[in-house]
Structure 1
Amino acid sequence: MSDSGKVLLIDGMSFLFRAFYGSAWGGAYRQTSTGVYTNAVYGFTKMMLDYAELTRPSHLVVGWDVASRESLVRSQWYDGYKSNRQAAPDELIPQFDLVKEVTDAFSVPNLGCPGFEGDDVLGTLSTRLSEEGHEVIIATGDYDSLQLISERVSVKILKNGGKHEHYNPASLLALRGITPEQVVDVKALMGDASDCIPGCPGIGEKTATKLITEHGDLDNLYVNLANCTPKMRSKLEENRDQVYLSRKLATIIRDVPVEYALEDALWEYDRQVVQNKFDELEFGRTMAARVG
């Protein structure tokens, strides 16, 4: 593959959960005639095809979480990490395996690594691939992925209504006022309630962004605490260990031991194999028309 290759990396959990809840609001879950739930798989497939049409990749990979919360490396660092997560709805659970049958039909690799999260898999792949000279596009619902942006890596953040926000180094600076390297330091200060990352109590996104842009990074902020107001200095000093733990928790791991062969990720598929899977899942004419 030449330098002009373009790899689309999809955050499997982001797509699947968004597809499930986006189609479940009315309480009517799509099912086959035999009662198999397919609403999340149908929505996932539609989104995957949408982003493939939008970005025209040469290669496509899906990254997944494959571990329970308790077995995550971050849970070893901090007991409370993601402790607020609820069990997946009963209607969604069987679709975790089913969606991988669909991606297999498209010859799309499903990659995961025990102990690590999908973000870490995508972070590892995007780092390796960009260093090899490939253009990488990450499609996800997770703003943490903005730390992965570089000249060769861009991120599309999923939004409601099938829309997305596109981020590269320039648009990240224009829209959020920070660089990719500063994303984690902002999160270290503000925390993240959705993942139970504590941050520094009393500091929100606006203040965190202001502190990091003024000082450059977290380490320099702590070197220059004397320049902060007494109230802010006290807050930061008191929670120093928690802030640095939060930075560690929020940092995407980029050296996950995940094995892959890029040639296996070519965005090429046997239309008949895909059509057979669509027929099995009773996806209907609209979806069938999208694969010819």
Structure 2
Amino acid sequence: MNRPLLVVDGDSFAHRSYHALPKSIRRRGNKGGGAIVGFANFLLRLYAQEQPRAVLVGWDTLDAPTYRHRALEGYQSGRVFDPELLDQLDVMPQFVTACGFAAAKAPGYEADDFLAAAVMQEEQLGGATVVASGDRDAFQLASDRTVILQPVRAGEMARIGPAEVRGRYGVEPKQVPDFIALRGDSSDKIPGAPGIGPKTAASLLRRYGSLEAALAQGKFTAQAEQLRLYRSIATMDAAAPLPSLPDQTPTWGEAAALAREWELNRLADRLTELQSETRRGL
């Protein structure tokens, strides 16, 4: 049985970990460590569950705008992150690579873009992908070869394929950017079409097939260019640059050494035990 590629939205789960774990977890230099520990435990659990051939974790570059920010004034505005979270986000890619996994981060791209690029590449190679993300924009990636893992409650993940996207949104995965453009997205500050909610957006897409086809039929004439912009913003950029993604063998020992250097000793002990189990062939 061919093993899937596991692709993870690092920022999504780092944020969840930061808010879920106590701020009393500290690393060397009395710096915050809870987000690192929570994210690491999540990643190890996901690896054990999915047994992937390789892992890629995508990251936002928070200090560099993307084309989305330049194109839409107010995009993702109002987001303020604690300094301790930002500090931990800076070093988490180092932990990922210490595990023997790949990390993708580049100015001008969001974590979502690396997910899309990895999915496209893996599907072109005939492989399967598991995408872990708390962002429903990732539903646009669902296919017969790609499943989305979405957190629904503590420790539980829903598996989202094309049927689940249809059940939740009433549209096909490839229509999700059009759906977001019409409905809007309050978290990203995408306004959407005036007076259009999710049910009407889905109905329009079932009738016309796409936003572009609806515009060609004279719908939303006054908002056409804005809606095209919103669709572009909601579409993940599969041209994002990727690192090489050959089959990987985890380097738990290196990750344990890094965790020990950070004085996150319980995490280091867990990683050391994983290394021992690997050597014993368990």
Query: Normalising by the residue count of structure 2, what TM-score does the alignment of the two structures yield?
Result: 0.88
2:42 alignment counterpart? 47
Using the TM superposition, give the Cα deviation of residue 63 of structure 1 relative to its aligned residue in structure 2, in angstroms: 0.7
- Of the three residues 258, 262, 266, the one matched with 2:245 is 262
| Aligned residues of 2:28 and 2:262 also touching (Cα < 8 A) | no
| Aligned residues of 1:169 and 1:179 also touching (Cα < 8 A) | yes
Q: Does 1:80 align with 2:64?
A: no
| Aligned residues of 2:171 and 2:206 also touching (Cα < 8 A) | yes
2:223 alignment counterpart? 239
Give the 3-state SS of the residue equivalent to 1:254 in structure 2: coil
Gaps of 5+ in 1: 226-232
| Aligned residues of 2:118 and 2:242 also touching (Cα < 8 A) | no
State the identity as a percent. 28
1:252 alignment counterpart? 236
- Of the three residues 250, 254, 258, the one matched with 1:273 is 254
Check 1:271–1:244 CA distance in 2 against 1; reply closer, same or farther (3 A cut).
closer
| Aligned equivalents of 2:165, 2:198: Cα separation in 1 | 15
1:215 alignment counterpart? 208
Check 1:286–1:32 CA distance in 2 against 1; reply closer, same or farther (3 A cut).
closer
Give the aligned residue type for 1:185: D
- Of the three residues 23, 32, 57, the one matched with 1:37 is 32
| Aligned equivalents of 2:108, 2:270: Cα separation in 1 | 39
Give the aligned residue type for 2:70: Q
Give the aligned residue type for 1:55: E
- Of the three residues 177, 181, 192, the one matched with 2:185 is 192
Residue by residue over 1:224-253, the C-alpha shift from the partner in whole angstroms, topping out at 9 and shown as x without a partner, is 45xxxxxxx6xx333222222111111111
- Of the three residues 167, 176, 179, the one matched with 2:172 is 179
Give the 3-state SS of the residue equivalent to 2:143 in structure 1: coil
| Aligned residues of 1:32 and 1:281 also touching (Cα < 8 A) | yes
| Aligned equivalents of 1:102, 1:286: Cα separation in 2 | 11
Give the 3-state SS of the residue equivalent to 1:9 in structure 2: strand
CA RMSD of aligned residues (A): 2.1
| Aligned residues of 1:198 and 1:242 also touching (Cα < 8 A) | no
151-160 vs 54-63, greater mean Cα deviation = 151-160
| Aligned equivalents of 2:121, 2:239: Cα separation in 1 | 9
2:156 alignment counterpart? 163
- Of the three residues 94, 109, 118, the one matched with 1:116 is 109
Give the 3-state SS of the residue equivalent to 1:137 in structure 2: strand
Aligned residue-pair number: 273
| Aligned equivalents of 2:138, 2:161: Cα separation in 1 | 11
Give the aligned residue type for 1:61: L
Using the TM superposition, give the Cα deviation of residue 128 of structure 1 relative to its aligned residue in structure 2, in angstroms: 0.9
| Aligned equivalents of 1:159, 1:29: Cα separation in 2 | 26
Residue by residue over 1:42-78, the C-alpha shift from the partner in whole angstroms, topping out at 9 and shown as x without a partner, is 0000111121122110111111112535x31112222
Give the 3-state SS of the residue equivalent to 1:114 in structure 2: coil
89-98 vs 178-187, greater mean Cα deviation = 89-98
| Aligned residues of 1:46 and 1:287 also touching (Cα < 8 A) | no
Gaps of 5+ in 2: 277-282
Q: Does 1:288 align with 2:269?
A: yes
| Aligned residues of 1:140 and 1:158 also touching (Cα < 8 A) | yes
Using the TM superposition, give the Cα deviation of residue 109 of structure 1 relative to its aligned residue in structure 2, in angstroms: 1.4
1:230 alignment counterpart? none
| Aligned equivalents of 1:4, 1:133: Cα separation in 2 | 10
2:279 alignment counterpart? none
1:14 alignment counterpart? 12
Using the TM superposition, give the Cα deviation of residue 286 of structure 1 relative to its aligned residue in structure 2, in angstroms: 6.9
| Aligned residues of 1:113 and 1:121 also touching (Cα < 8 A) | no
Check 1:63–1:18 CA distance in 2 against 1; reply closer, same or farther (3 A cut).
same
Give the aligned residue type for 2:67: V
